[in-house]
Amino acid sequence: MARYKGSLGIDALLCTVFTYIIGSLLYLIVVNISILDPFVNAFKDFSYTDIYYAKGFYASKPTKDIVLVNIQHADRYKLAQCIGIIKQQQPAAMGIDVVFKERKNTFTDSILKVTLKDSKIANAYYFDQDSVVGNHPYFGLDPKNNAYINLDQDKGGAVIRNFTGLKTKDGDTLFSLPAKVALLSGKLTRKQLKPYSEEMPIQFTGGQDQFFSFDIDEVLGQKNIPAIKNSIILLGYLGTPTGNPYDIEDKHFTPLNTRYTGRAIPDTYGIVIHANILNMMINKERIVKVNGFVVYTIAFIATFLMIWLGMSLYRKNQFLYDVSIKVLQFVLAVILLFISLLLLRNNIYLNIIPTIAFMLLGLEMIDFYIYLVNYVSKHSTWKSRLL
């Protein structure tokens, strides 16, 4: 019986499909077997992009348009005084990362109430599961100036990597604190904020040292603060005293953590994360995230080409193939990782992990594919070019 001998391209395509099937099955096994949960959770809190920030590959630039004020554990009277002084300096807008959810002293609450009523102040609230926790109705704050302060966490992990600037609920548009102060300051319009309604990576440009910052006592002790005029002011907690490395109140894990594996101590205060988000907004440095379809299409094409190359080496010299395959896998992984970090530096986020994973798996699958086609060829008229 005459045998049809297929082309090497067909072998490479079939092996690529075989690789995707095996890879998908392995993924389902890892995700669905509970005994492997510790491994899944460990990888959930790690992203290869953390290397980009932890090793300082990003461009850190001092920011003059955003000023941070550390309120520490000041009482409401002191806080009202601080806000009043800041208002006198004519800032572009102000965001307060504090929720006054209960009444306290009548006198101090009345002063704070008057101070907070300003069209340039964004007032905070947060989502607590299905409920909303906001300022007490006594303060009579304009709902149009409310902003949520929740920080997104990547798929339930502990590291803050992504954010959503706007959310829609019951037909209403809800603004995050950075989005609201950007709008109130006139730095961005509602149209310009629209793209931030989708979850996207945060473009971190530095920690607390990137921004001008003042303690509340420094503000209270000065009558004239030029740095505040026409700037966006964010009031929040920055430690007691400011920058205390052992104070982890309202501190979170971010990619800025120099220990991107085995994290133990949170690295960045919430108000600094808000400031980074605001900075990327007003500087229009939004990161474009390549969608999943494109990611897996690139992975499929790259895997096909690499398997084709591997099969070509196999046909020429099996010994050469065995020797070079491991070196090839390592070099490819390093090159692809470098390319993805280079794209990130240019505000393009391409998840390169599927491409690396399938390419490495595909090269390993060539031997298994040969066993499979050897069996098939004995029971059909088709014969692989590898036999």
pLDDT band at 1 (very low <50, low <70, confident <90, very high): very low
pLDDT at position 235 over 90? yes
pLDDT at position 37 over 70? no
Are 352 and 339 in contact by the 8 Å Cβ rule? The answer is yes
Instruction: Report d(CA 201, CA 196) in Å as an integer.
Output: 10
Given 3-state DSSP classes, what are the helix, strand and coil percentages for the chain, each rounded to the nearest 5? 50, 15, 35
Query: If you average pLDDT over every residue of the chain, what do you get?
Result: 81
pLDDT (0 to 100) of residue 123: 93
Quick one: average pLDDT of 208-218? 88
pLDDT (0 to 100) of residue 271: 93
Q: Give 224-234 pLDDT, tens digit per residue.
A: 888 899 999 99
pLDDT (0 to 100) of residue 115: 92
Q: Give 66-104 pLDDT, tens digit per residue.
A: 999 999 888 999 999 999 999 999 999 999 999 998 998
pLDDT (0 to 100) of residue 277: 92
Strand duo 131-133 + 121-128: pairing: antiparallel
Quick one: average pLDDT of 348-370? 84
pLDDT at position 249 over 90? no
Are 384 and 373 in contact by the 8 Å Cβ rule? The answer is yes
Residue entry with tokens 């090793």: 55
Instruction: Report d(CA 27, CA 39) in Å as an integer.
Output: 12
pLDDT (0 to 100) of residue 340: 84
Cβ burial 264-277 (10 Å sphere, 16+ → b, else e): eebbbbbbbbbbbb
CA angle 59, 64, 69 (to 5 degrees): 110
Instruction: Report d(CA 208, CA 66) in Å as an integer.
Output: 11
pLDDT at position 363 over 50? yes
Quick one: average pLDDT of 201-216? 85
pLDDT (0 to 100) of residue 385: 58
Chain-centre distance for alpha carbon 260: 14
Quick one: average pLDDT of 238-244? 82
pLDDT at position 261 over 70? no
pLDDT band at 2 (very low <50, low <70, confident <90, very high): very low
Q: How many CB atoms lie within 10 A of CB 49?
A: 22
Helix (H, G, I), strand (E, B) or coil at 298: helix
Consecutive H or E run containing 112? helix 106-116
Instruction: Report d(CA 281, CA 283) in Å as an integer.
Output: 5
pLDDT (0 to 100) of residue 3: 43
pLDDT (0 to 100) of residue 4: 42
Quick one: average pLDDT of 18-35? 73
Q: How many CB atoms lie within 10 A of CB 337?
A: 16
β partners of residue 132: 127
Instruction: Report d(CA 33, CA 148) in Å as an integer.
Output: 37
Least confident of 128-132, 138-142, 241-245, 262-266: 262-266
Quick one: average pLDDT of 287-310? 88
Instruction: Report d(CA 51, CA 333) in Å as an integer.
Output: 15
Instruction: Report d(CA 78, CA 66) in Å as an integer.
Output: 22
β partners of residue 383: 5
In sequence order, which residues have a C-beta less than 8 Å from that of residue 198 and are 6 or more positions away? 164
pLDDT at position 52 over 50? yes
CA distances to 296, 313, 332 from 328, rounded to whole Å, are: 21, 11, 6
pLDDT band at 33 (very low <50, low <70, confident <90, very high): low
pLDDT (0 to 100) of residue 263: 60
- Residue 137: asked if its preceding bond is cis (omega within 30°), the reply is no
In the chain, what percentage of residues exceed pLDDT 70?
84
Instruction: Report d(CA 327, CA 166) in Å as an integer.
Output: 46
Quick one: average pLDDT of 182-203? 87
Least confident of 97-111, 171-185, 315-329: 315-329
What tokens appear for 255 in the block? 């990619």
pLDDT band at 39 (very low <50, low <70, confident <90, very high): very low
Quick one: average pLDDT of 349-375? 83
Instruction: Report d(CA 96, CA 231) in Å as an integer.
Output: 14
pLDDT (0 to 100) of residue 378: 65
**The dihedral sign for the CA sequence 225, 284, 148, 53:** negative
